Structure 1
Amino acid sequence: MHSYLARQPILNKDKVTVGYELLFRDGPNNCFPDVEDELATNRLLINNFFTSGSSQVTAGKKAFVNFPESSLLQRTPLLFPKQSFVIEILESCTPSDALLEAVIELHKKGYTLALDDFVPSKDWLRFLPFIHIIKFDIRAIPIDRARFFIQRYKKNNIKFLAEKVETYAEFIEASDAGFDFFQGFFFSKPEMIQSRSLTPSALTTMQLYQEICLPQVNFDKVEKIIATDVSLSYKLLRHVNTITSSKSKPISSFKQALVYLGEEKLRRFISFVAASHALAEKPQSLYSLSLQRANFCERLSVLVTPKIVSNQAFLTGLFSLLDSLLDQSIEELIEQLPLSAGIQAALVSKTGPLGIMLKLAIAYDQADWDKVSLYSKELGIDETNVAEVYVESLKWSAIIEKSSATK
């Protein structure tokens, strides 16, 4: 039996990823009776937390998991490690005596509890002493209205999370209103589009990207580019010596390191390191999402008929957030890269097979299952296969994110 799983990052005021909400459905349709909601939650927990005690798709960070009322009343969370996830009490739950009793028990046993899509009501006030996080959907509850509630209950040691933050301006407004955490796609859009030259490290990134886009990598050119940047040079040598730790003699020259990596691994190294190196103040989630999309598109490319060149698919996913990483329009940026017409069309207008693949990746990120179904059909791919590919790409990017955080 297969599942549909998407994740959405949760960031703090410094735009550091503190967790992911896991969004689960058992099929392409987004409507189920209560029993199916409970089954979906149980399967998500079993698949991600039961055996290892930590989620395989969140890079070791907290997972925010939706719990229907029946699961809470049955104390389902008690079966799983309390440190691994945050219990989201769905807005559809009834604030009954029975639910309050379950919440108090979970609170006493050390679980972290959140009220999802909270609408202020006197019926929920008695729950607040046992709640750690309150989530406001700022599309339903305007930031100004939420501000008053936050000011009143901030002293209760409750943290507040703004959902559906879609622009950088909304992020700033919500932060000023007292929100502690933020969820939405503001981080995947440019903070500003500016007519300015790239910073030195961003320029180095673009130059490296130019080289990995070519059919054959010129190692001499790559060596010269990396040698101009001390930080990137250090990362290259450290990375290569880490993966060659069994060798008796360490690798000490850039050329030696590049040749050892070879073309494929060099492309991967540049993809892993260059974007995060270019603008360190960008959220890790943005960097991780670009890598996850690259891997997702690459895996999908072999399932499409006619097949898409995997490297073209990888670059499409990788560069889908380049405008946000470098704060320039995608049209300006792709002029500096030797990309094929197919990749350019996908990035600018999301047309062609690569464009549909990119739209499918975005739909999955947003858990828009209707669009997932539509784009899967357009590509001629079974949705079950797409679901499997997406989960594998999440696991892959989580491994990269976790390893980069420890270096």
Structure 2
Amino acid sequence: MNATSTTGNASPRPLRVRDFFLARQPILDRGQSLVAYELLFRNADTNAANVTSDLSATAAVIAHTSQLGIEKVIGESLGYLNVDAAVLMSDIFQFLPKEKVVLEIVETTKATPEIIERIQFLVKQGFRFALDDVITDNEDVQKLLPLADIVKIDLRDMPLSALLKLTPKFRLAKKKLLAEKVENREQFDTCLELGFDYFQGYYFAKPAILSGKKLSPSQLAIMKLMTQVTSDADNSEIEHSIKQDVSLCFNLLRLVNAPAIGVRHRIDSVSQALLVLGRHQLQRWLQIMLYAEPCKKGQSMTPLLTLAATRGKLLELIAHRIEPHQRHIGDTAFTVGIMSLMDTLFSMPMQEILEQVAVVDAVSDALLHRTGRYGDMLRLAEHMERIEEAGSMLEDLVGKLGLSSNDLNDLQLSAFEWGDIVARNAA
């Protein structure tokens, strides 16, 4: 499949789909709910860390991804996509569902009459725009600002003094503000006070260790069940423990009947759920429920739940691709992926968590030290999430695990879709 690009009177040129890596980065609102993902692409044939260095090639990849079904990548959220002058003047937009995307005009785009006219046309067609990496209100920004709904500010390149100066101007212009590269809660709190509407970064996935932190009764109940499962307790004992907690019983039945499970007939009892699921499946749903539990108290943990579920599924799929005939490797890989964010979930050091949950040494090594093959899988997933910072590690790990970029993209699409469905049904 080809897309073409035209700029001015230049002849159309093909936009080639090459091997690429795909990443999505969550965008949250002021209430910490997931509202969108920025989609990032990086060519697999380069070690360059700049993921927007070849947007012409990226345009073809976007078209390709859209044909596969962009909803598989972003679920029910919006998708933010980088565009430059070449992409803006291309025919890519016939492939994009305008109600599902926000187009980010990269900071190198010059506000020429031709570009302004093109964006005006696309706005009339129903497309929405954001200005990317704004660090000043220069002439180009001022010309493009009336056509954009959102202004993105990269906190890495923005001193606080400049942030305090620029923010009121864009708010006065009635623009939504999106803080990018939010790395910690302090940055989030600062931008929240300044009136920012959206926040992009992995601050929500970083553990804030609290001394003396205690688990909630529901979390303790789930942890007890996980211990019973791993210690091969009788089904009757496990069933009795589940029935002691009405909320746990209800949520387990709701989860096992979710579309992501693929159960053909509705499961109406705990005993039936235990028979249908089996021990390994039960353990993974208990792990998912640990992330879902805070949602019941009104705490929006959906982004963390989605990230953990997606990581778990991606690691499981990678393991199955590498060792297709060894089911237990996939189960172990899933556990590594979903447990990798429990220090954030519990605000406790991972070492303390592993003292309460029995895991094999390979899982412990992966979670504490990122070593062994499960550690390699986890590092690959983490590098994909931060694709613009991964450097050559991405290619190195893909090669070490015996994968290709095409393999990884296929597995990611499946993991994205599964994680989104699970989060919607669990939260």
Instruction: State if a TM-score over 0.5 links the two structures.
Output: yes
What residue number does 1:25 align with?
42
State how 1:6-405 maps to structure 2 within 5 Å. 6-29=23-46, 31=48, 36-48=54-66, 50=67, 54-74=70-90, 76-77=92-93, 79-123=95-139, 124-214=141-231, 216=232, 218-240=234-256, 251=268, 253-278=269-294, 280=296, 281-304=299-322, 309-367=329-387, 368-404=390-426
**Aligned-partner SS, 1:139:** helix
Matching residue's letter, 2:311: R
In the alignment, the residues of structure 1 paired with residue 68 and residue 409 of structure 2 have an alpha-carbon distance, to the nearest angstrom, of: 21
Give me the whole-angstrom Cα distance separating, in 1, the residues matched to 2:126 and 2:311: 35
Greater shift in the superposed pair: 329-338 or 194-203: 194-203
1:78 deviates by 5.1
Large movers: runs of 4+ above 4 Å: 30-36, 239-247, 303-308, 402-405
Deviations 1:279-309 (CA, angstroms, capped at 9, x unpaired): 5514312111111111111122244479782
Deviations 1:219-240 (A, max 9, x none): 2343233223222222223445
Secondary structure of residue in 1 paired with 2:183 = coil
Q: 1:198 to 1:89 in 2, by over 3 A?
A: same
Aligned equivalents of 2:256, 2:401: Cα separation in 1: 38
- Note closer, same or farther for the CA distance 1:75–1:379 as it changes in structure 2 (3 Å cut): closer
Which segment is superposed worse, 190-199 or 349-358? 190-199
Rounded Cα–Cα distance in structure 1 between residues aligned with 2:150 and 2:369: 39
Contact kept? 1:205, 1:278, Cα under 8 Å: no
CA RMSD in angstroms, aligned pairs only: 2.8
Structure 2 CA distance for partners of 1:332 and 1:239, relative to 1, 3 Å: closer
Could you give the per-residue CA deviations for residues 311-359 of structure 1, whole angstroms, max 9, x where no partner exists? 2211111100011111111111011111011111111111222212211
| Structure 1 unaligned blocks of 5 or more | none
Mapped partners of 2:342, 2:278: distance in 1: 25
Q: Is the 8 A contact 1:271 1:318 kept in 2?
A: yes
1:16-36 Cα shifts (integer Å, max 9, x gaps): 000001111231525499994
**Partner amino acid for 1:365?**
E
> Do 1:191 and 1:327's aligned partners in 2 also have CA atoms closer than 8 Å?
yes
Kindly tell me: are residues 142 and 78 of structure 1, through their superposed partners in 2, closer, same or farther at Cα, counting changes over 3 Å? farther
Does the CA-based 8 Å contact 2:102-2:127 persist in structure 1? Answer: yes
TM-aligned CA distance change 1:102 to 1:287, over 3 Å = same
Distance 1:101 1:297, change over 3 A: same
Paired with 1:107 and 1:313, the residues of 2 have a C-alpha distance of: 45
Secondary structure of the residue that 1:83 maps to in structure 2? coil
Letter in 2 for 1:300: I
Deviation at 1:11, TM superposition (A): 0.4
**Distance in 1 of aligned mates of 2:53 and 2:371:** 40
Whole-angstrom distance in 1 between the partners of 2:152 and 2:181:
10
Q: TM-score, normalised by structure 1?
A: 0.88
Change (3 A) 1:30 1:89: farther
The count of corresponding residues between Structure 1 and Structure 2 is: 399
Q: 2:3 corresponds to which residue?
A: none
Gaps of 5+ in 2: 1-17
1:83 and 1:160 map into 2 onto residues whose CA distance is 20
Identity of aligned residues (%): 28
Letter in 2 for 1:347: L
Please tell me whether the aligned partners of residues 291 and 301 of structure 2 are also in contact (alpha carbons under 8 angstroms).
Answer: no
CA shift digits 1:191-242 (9 cap, x unpaired): 343322211122223223334445x464234323322322222222344567
What is the CA-CA distance between 1:274 and the residue it aligns to?
Answer: 3.2
Q: CA offset at residue 388 of structure 1?
A: 2.9
Check the 8 A contact 2:111/2:143 in 1, yes or no: no
